[in-house]
Amino acid sequence: MKRFPPCVTRVVLTLLSGAFLLLPASCNTVDGFEQEDRAFGQAAQDALAQKLAEQVVSLGGPPKTLIDPSPAPAPLPKDFAPAWQPAVGKALFADAEPASHGLEDLFERALKWSHQIKVFSDIPLIRETGIQEATGEFDHRAFAEAFYSMSDEPVGSTLTTGGASRYHQYRSEITAGVKRKYHSGAEAVLSEQIARTTSNSVYFVPHRQAEAVLALSIRQPLLKGAGDKYNRSWIRIAKIDSEIARQEFIRQAESHLLEVARAYWSLYLARAVTVQRKQLVDDTADLLAKLEQRKDLDALQSELLHARSALAGRRADLVRSEMAIKSSEDRLKALINDPELMATNRAELLPADAPITARMVVDVKHAAGKALETRPEIRQAFLQYKAAMIRKDVAKNEALPQLDFVIETAMSGLDEAGPITNAMDDQWRHPGLRIGLVFERPVEHNAAKARLLRRRLEIRQIVSQLRATVDTVMLEVKISAREVNTSYREMLSRYQALQAAGEDLRVLRQRWAADAGGDKGAVAYLRLLLDCQERLAKAQEEFAASNVDYNVAFVHLQRAQGTLLGYQDLEIKRTSDDEDLPALEVRKRIVTPTGSTIGS
């Protein structure tokens, strides 16, 4: 290869090609903008906290009561356990395969197997692909072009060919190189072109020529499209969209767990009611048997018919309650989709957890503050506002005039057609340089103005949406907290009614036994006993329902606060499936001896 003298253009070519084409795909400015994003999010949260302080403070204070309230019910005894509780956790159907499960166990099974949760878990992963897609805008791109051209044209001057009446030219050329766009907005293209040309013109010397051109072109925007902040905007927006989708997954997962909890306690209530009605049927049958023994003494035919009618009606209610158990089991299985639970139709789900009856003190102000920190909907609204601000900055940049700085440098060589390296050796002798500015601006500027106006309107809309979301969350927290307190007080009242009905039945049974020696007035207790049995069964059912409502209200409060996953010691982990595709799983958090947590 021929030696060449040093020159300024060669130095410029070397420095620019090294600076623009050998840089890594990422640069240090990425960390700077991520720090800016975190600072922006913290500032937005601080601003919202100030605006919503009055709302949270207004939630404090004692609840409103009636002017002349009745005395508060006495709390339940610590050792209280409903009479039907042991039978609820045992098999009720003769041909069934009992399987006992607690609520926490069903939560874990639902998070692992539920088809609905799997649908929502894929949303953040799908959105994450947008980050890589936006980053691809700054990938290196290799390109190559190859053309063959042939010219056969008549000539009107002998100066074209030197005598021939038609001009013939044959050219083969190949262009290859690499180009890339950078975070500053600059676009750089480095290419090498080699060509072979022959012609019948006597002025084409040498007759067969080999050409080589090494060129570097750099175009750097100075106004529109300039700067790391503008060019990385879509990457930042893609990251925000991914986080919004992750918060949506959390919201949907907590909502699904709330439905699982409701179905679980509905199953418990259906089984409790079935046990109660079965006991009612047995008591009614026993009463009818005793009455049948007295039909020759003092029992009237009408009394026997009344007792038989009551027994038949209560057996019909028992059939309906048994069907409610099966419906509750099917709903729970449909929410969980665990193959183990759905392996056979003979499986009987037994609730292993008894509903709590202890009082849970709820501070509405604390619950509201917790919801502002952890509720996924509020985090989503913050992130949407943040993305809207970035889009507005993009629109402001695109409203600027286009002013680009362009620098191009090339070195070309020419030699007789032979080894192509001859022309490439020769190209280093002839450097060239071109520098300039390119300016363009629409006169009316309607498109940019419309985009900027749309972004400003979107920000105003998102701010209103953020306030509406906060109002909705605050309302849900207040209602959920009140429901916990209300359902607890209702449960205490139902307990008093249950105790009164049980005592009433006990007294009537004692009187029935005392008058069973032949007193013709003993049959008069029949209707009272039947009515008292009905009242006791109703009181038992209402107490069980209020107890279940109390437990559901507590789960709903955790959902309203956005802490249901954290309350159950669950966390989201990124894994891979059998096809090596990314997946999100909600796993049980395990506490190590050092106090740190790991996924199970």
Give the pLDDT of residue 573: 79
Please state, in angstroms and rounded to a whole number, the distance separating the CA atoms of residues 345 and 326.
10
Residue 24 is predicted with a pLDDT of: 42
494-497: Cβ within 8 A, 24+ apart: 494/539, 494/542, 494/543, 494/546, 494/547, 495/73, 495/76, 495/80, 495/543, 496/73, 496/74, 497/539, 497/542, 497/543
pLDDT of residue 61: 47
Question: For residues 313 and 595, what is the distance between their CA atoms, to the nearest angstrom?
Answer: 59
**Low pLDDT (below 50) residues in the chain:** 1-31, 53, 57, 60-63, 65-68, 517-520, 591-600
**Structural tokens at position 268:** 């418990």
C-alpha to C-alpha distance for 291 and 287, rounded to whole angstroms:
6
Element (H, E) at 288: helix 233-293
What CA–CA distance (Å, rounded) separates 407 from 411?
14
pLDDT given at position 579: 80
The pLDDT assigned to 21 comes to 44
User: Inter-axis angle of helices 525-561 and 364-374, to 10 degrees?
Assistant: 50
Residue 47 confidence (pLDDT): 54
CA dist 359 to 307, 315, 485, 526, Å?
A: 41, 36, 9, 40
Model pLDDT, residue 440: 92
pLDDT value of residue 597:
38
Bridge-based pairing of strands 166-181 and 187-199 is: antiparallel
Q: Fill in the DSSP letter of residue 590.
A: E
